[in-house]
Amino acid sequence: MGDALGSDLISDLPQSIVESILVRLPIRDAVKTSILSSKWRYKWASITQLVFDEKCVDSCSDRDVVEKSVVKFITRLLFLHQGPIHKFQITISYFQSCPEIDQWILFLSRNDIKELVLELGEGEFFRIPSCLFNCKKLSRLELFRCELDPPLSFKGFLCLRSLNLHQVLISPDAIEGLISNCPLLESLSLSYFDSLALSIRAPNLKYLYLEGEFRDICLEDTPLLVEISVAMYMTDDIAEHFEQSASCNFLKFLGGVPNLERLVGHIYFTKYLSIGNDLGCLPIIYKNLETIELNQVSFEDMKEILVVLRLITSSPNLKELQISGSSNIPSATDAPDLDFWEKECSSKCRLSHLRVVQLTDMCGVPHEMELIKFLLASSPVLETMSIIPCIYVVESQLKMLTELVKFRRASAKAEIVFVRE
């Protein structure tokens, strides 16, 4: 009995279990386990996941002192580390570029690094050293506020599955080459890029997140995409470029994604899709698309309305629909094209799986009300339609309610929730 109580059961655990315990601790606490006993002195030195976040920062008001302390801590830790490092992550909000990072990446490139996350704060952009492109086993790469310039000899990351570039300086040709030379890439996130015209060729890509000033986006070879989220910022220069475009943006962007399951479009997305030649009848049906979220749709622009309608009617298994408006109230109130709805919306059209609809920033203008009328009449299993009116149209809310109660509902269970904020 005494021997059982005196034995050190934790120290005798397999290294894999010890590591699973240590990686759940803040990295400084993991290192401090070296003082527990002689057996524990170097247990931490072989963990394969190194995460440096706010938890490893000493509390001190002097930021320069803290940064120097962090740099010294990371450098010494890597010097004492034994064995491969599969994950290396720095996510300290105010950590800035410094020369030591070059040495860290060189060290990691020689130690089987698979996941690298480098999130730098304000200050100079960090220029990624060329040794990063020798990391043949890299499967996840996330860079924030960095400068990336792949060498001409770079043939791609053959194991990379996730790529996240946030405020990264890289040439258009280089980023297209980087994407197309990662044959296993499944998740791609690009944010805060300026005036970028982008063609994406990634046959295994499943998740795409874009945010920034894009002059053009073309999905050329992305047949497996299941989720897309796009936010487009508009400058005068880009707006002029859009107006001069003749090709159909809708087909360039959504014409080759038959397996799409979720689509989220933020600011200017429907505007972008509406530019170019008339859609006509779509050559694609989105059989797997269950969730559509479109923000800041202009209900005074007939082309944007057509984009919304074509997306809805081309998604036979749609279950959830969210739309927010951004109409110019005086011009949207004058809607001479109301016969559009009779032409485009067949009485036979059925949204047989649509259960939840949420409409926000609604002004009660004619085309908004026609959309609501169409959705209620075409959704036999609809459960809830939530309508949140625009805060600037208080006087027209009663009129909206009066019209709503007159609309025919295909679903006897449909509940209309009118939220007055």
Weakly modelled stretches of the chain, pLDDT under 70: 1-13, 34-39, 42, 57-61, 235-246, 277-281, 327-336, 338, 346-347, 421
Same structural domain, 231 and 301? yes
Same structural domain, 293 and 379? no
pLDDT at position 7, please?
Answer: 54
The structural domain count of the chain equals 2
Same structural domain, 196 and 321? yes
Same structural domain, 314 and 371? no
Same structural domain, 195 and 278? yes
Same structural domain, 255 and 377? no
pLDDT at position 103, please?
Answer: 95
pLDDT at position 418, please?
Answer: 87
Residue 351 lies in a domain: no
Residue 334 lies in a domain: no
Same structural domain, 293 and 398? no
Query: What percentage of the chain reaches a pLDDT higher than 70?
Result: 86
Residue 397 lies in a domain: yes
Residue 148 lies in a domain: no
Same structural domain, 292 and 386? no
- Parent domain of 315: 186-326
Residue 94 lies in a domain: no
What pTM was estimated for this model as a whole? 0.88
pLDDT at position 280, please?
Answer: 65
Q: Decide: 347 and 315 in contact? Cβ < 8 Å.
A: no
pLDDT at position 2, please?
Answer: 43
Of the three residues 326, 353, 378, the one that is the final residue of a domain is 326
Residue 163 lies in a domain: no
Residue 134 lies in a domain: no
pLDDT at position 78, please?
Answer: 92
Same structural domain, 267 and 371? no
Same structural domain, 288 and 409? no
Same structural domain, 301 and 399? no
Of the three residues 273, 302, 326, the one that is the final residue of a domain is 326
Residue 146 lies in a domain: no
